Structure 1
């Protein structure tokens, strides 16, 4: 019989898998709210990836429940669960690495996003972050709003004060946000792999129990004593 300690460990890990999926799905929905700076950092592609991964983890949890309640001699469900966990692990690595790789060249990558942003978006960010232009006061600056009201004001900004230009506050916010995102996603890998190992242990123990039952049956149910 599978020990209570093993099943308890498996249950805790399975609950953590449920929590991971719920957190991913919830944040992927919440972060779609109207927030100009966050919307620039967390693009729809990121949020869609998070939604898909969150749903995948929740589906895996559902499979795990169906698998664990099967009779001891039926291990097909747990085997299917393990293959599903492997797919989850691949998804975690791909998404986490994609976000991490983007952070390696944040200044240049967000310059592209700043370039592609609308005039209204750039003005909102300039007002919010109290900055003008991206790398400097002549780099894609938008005159207007409450901060960069005219060209004379922009020209008077100190060039050696990096906070005057939007690259610094944008990348500071993005660095903190994206680092937390990919670190958390990679953290889910521990849950997935530990549950995979626990499931393998449950399968092995159930197979041993069934083997001993068959041996016992051949001996006429007299046991080994």
Structure 2
């Protein structure tokens, strides 16, 4: 009969694997989205996702799956402690990796307007035009700095001057979008931390069981 501690440990271990699946799915879907032709509906997300460490996310997810597979012997070998120690250290590595990704994205949000200005200037006129149509604005700061792209939203300089620049709407969208990503990453780190605590408690419990077994053997109880 499994103990409550072991049930919690197994549950957190599978939740840990689920986080890896979530991370892998997000990274692969995002990379697929980046390969799709740009439209008004996906242009903003794709511009921002292009700055995210998606390949590192895939690598991190693979580490998580490997760690989960290595934890299976610890589930089925009730007296083993070596696999538990290995799992604990691997979970710490995965958590550090995920935390680094989350911090990298979080740091971008601290300089959103400055970074988006450089990002806007590096995009093609087609992408800039789609962004203008998406946010109903003209140019980044205003219609002249940098110059707006003439399209159906910004028909001429007079219309462009009246609509104003995209800096406010674009940066607000970017902050909300990136906040969701790094918050999810920090949430995964929280689950990793709980799993490490579970591993430590199971390891301590098995060490105590082993100690009591040795005591029983010395008392002539045959390790029962």
TM-score by length of 2: 0.88
Counterpart for residue 176 of structure 2: 176
Mapped partners of 2:73, 2:125: distance in 1 = 52
Equivalent residues of 2:60, 2:94 under 8 A apart: yes
- 1:31 Cα shift? 2.1
Residue 91 (1) aligns with residue 90 (2): no
Counterpart for residue 69 of structure 1: 76
Structure 1: gaps of 5 or more residues: 159-163
Mapped partners of 1:104, 1:119: distance in 2 = 27
- 1:17 Cα shift? 0.5
Counterpart for residue 21 of structure 2: 22
Correspondent of 1:108 among 101, 114, 122: 114
After TM superposition, where is structure 1 displaced by more than 4 Å over at least 4 residues in a row?
A: none
Residue 121 (1) aligns with residue 89 (2): no
In the alignment of these two chains, the number of paired residues is 216
Distance 1:112 1:178, change over 3 A: same
- 1:4 Cα shift? 1.0
Counterpart for residue 10 of structure 2: 11
TM-score by length of 1: 0.88
Counterpart for residue 161 of structure 1: none
Structure 2: gaps of 5 or more residues: 37-41
Counterpart for residue 220 of structure 1: 220
Counterpart for residue 37 of structure 1: 44
Mapped partners of 2:130, 2:98: distance in 1 = 34
